[in-house]
A and B are shown apart, each in its own frame.
Chain A
Amino acid sequence: MNIIEIRGLSHRFSDGTLGLDAIDIEIKEGEFIVIAGRNGSGKTTLLRHLNGLLRPQTGSVKLAGISVSEDFVRARQMVGMVFQDADSQIIGETVYDDVAFGPENLRLERSEVQQRVSMALEAGGLIDLADHRPHLLSGGEKRRLAIAGILAMKPRVIVFDEPFSNLDYPGVKQVLEQILTLHQAGHTILITTHDLEKVLAHADRLVIMQKGKIVRDGLPNKIVTETEAFGVRQPCTSRLGLEIGSWLI
């Protein structure tokens, strides 16, 4: 079953730049997709259409058969988005409050909010930090908090915009482990990056974007050798003709 269906999606920014140019893509439930491309290729603009942060100027975006424009709250509940800059995503004054922000906006019962927050904090390994102030957390912890805030809304699709930027090696491993756990739990995962090295070993599908268009879409090991033509560095192991290895081994 397709959880996301995008047809003829175009977006032009207010300065006249074309952000997306007639995008067509279908994503099946449970897929793990990496979307790569150089800066300004349209990755983030595409993701922001999935939960209605940007509205289609032409074309359509459907989630499980229903247009995003019909029900934005449903779209935002269904597609959780982890932003590139965790600091600007964290809203609560404490870790607990931040995770509770989404469920509280959904006007859930207090007991349900508490249950979801506990579940999300547990999943993110943040239970012991529940009363800490978010801006004192490390980079990796902040990213895990951003993920926990999304998890508490029980999304089916989780979208990560450059999830490894500004993280040290342990931070990358922690976040990658968490992403894989979420995928194993049945979530559909979409990751945008221009650094394939860290994540491509786990992806089912690689999509490459350039100038607002999808220029390649296929199995990672089939198209990874073509990435450099589109401004994305080919992973080292792939350059040496070896299989792409996981960062977790």
Chain B
Amino acid sequence: MADLTAFSYHPGRSFLHLLDVRFKIIFLILISLTGMQADPPALCLLTFLFLCLIKSSRLSLISILKELRYFLVLLFFVLIARALSTPGTPVFEFKLLSISRQGLYDGILICWRLALVVLLGLIFVSTTRPSEIRTAVAWFLKPFPFIPGKKVATMIGLIMRFVPVILAQAKETSDAQRARGIENRKNPIYRLVKLAVPLIFKTFQNANNLAVAMEARCYSENRTDPDLSSKKNDWIAFFFVICLCILVVEI
């Protein structure tokens, strides 16, 4: 269970840690949207900037790469699919398979953009307390009368809290079934059903226990939320992010 550390808050007092969470969410959206249209020079600029942010936030680049290892595998498949499916000058041919120069270029560009968006998300989550994210979500949803912002925020918080617990439970159930020889069963549907049924049962049981524990601690939607206040640094950062987005689109 201890290895489930992806996308978690890392305490600190860096510039990013101290920024108002609402600004950080806006930055995340703006940079992600512009980054998805960026060309190689702009991507180089964003990569350099993100590396500087990682360093200044005292996050470990190696552990970040480790946390993104499964995503990197996914990106590799995206690259291969793009390289094989885009027509153009072939750089490698084997029977019916042909990898084109344009396909490789497009694949690398898409993977680079996706990797930067995920990296930005990881930097955001690593430098922001989950309770602040929850409060900011409720704050952004306040103007929408038909969306219960506080409920949505609580649900997000509980999902963030419970995903690792559900994963750990899945591993425990899977280990217990392997100990009784489920690997001898080759039918993947049979194995999936045998894993899903006890896992769902246990998850519902945990959810029920959690509801009782929340009730025992006087849970209500009207709670004391973390204070959100914007400072001078937030507005300076906002100015820089706007400039950065314009620069990324232009170059």
Contact = CB atoms under 8 A, between A and B. Distances in A.
Interface of A: 51, 53, 73, 76-77, 81, 83, 85, 87-94, 97, 100-110, 113, 130-131, 133-136, 149-150, 153
Given A93-B161, A97-B130, A135-B165, A107 B209 contact: no
A105 B223 CA distance: 5
How large, as a class, is the contact surface on chain B? 35 or more
B165 A105 contact: no
A135 B168 contact: yes
B223 A135 contact: no
B231 to A, nearest CB: 17
Nearest to B225: A104
Contacts of B2: 136
B93 interface: no
Contact of B217 (A87, A94, A134, A149): A149
Nearest to A136: B2
A91 B216 contact: no
Given A91-B161, A93-B157, A94-B9, A105 B218 contact: yes
A105 B214 CA distance: 10
Given A73-B218, A135-B168, A113 B224 contact: yes
Closest 10 CB pairs of A and B: A88-B209, A131-B11, A93-B130, A105-B218, A102-B217, A89-B213, A104-B224, A104-B223, A97-B131, A76-B218
A119 B76 CA distance: 50
Contacts of A104: 223-225
B220 interface: yes
Most buried by A among B2, B11, B218, B225: B218
Contacts of A101: 214, 217, 219
A136 B224 contact: no
A103 B8 contact: no
Given A103-B224, A104-B223, A110-B224, A94 B210 contact: no
Given A77-B218, A97-B131, A91 B224 contact: no
Nearest to B216: A81
A48 B155 CA distance: 25
Interface in B96-146: 129-131
Contact of A92 (B131, B168, B212, B224): B131
Contacts of A97: 129-131
Contacts of B160: 93
B243 to A, nearest CB: 33
Contacts of B11: 130-131
B213 A153 contact: no
Contacts of A136: 1-2, 5
Contacts of B157: 93
Nearest to A109: B224
A135 B216 contact: no
Contacts of A110: 224, 226-227
Contacts of B130: 93-94, 97
B90 interface: no
Contacts of A135: 1, 4, 164-165, 168
A107 B224 contact: yes
A108 B9 CA distance: 25
Contact of B9 (A105, A107, A113, A131): A131
A102 B222 CA distance: 12
Contact of B224 (A73, A88, A108, A149): A108
A131 B127 CA distance: 12
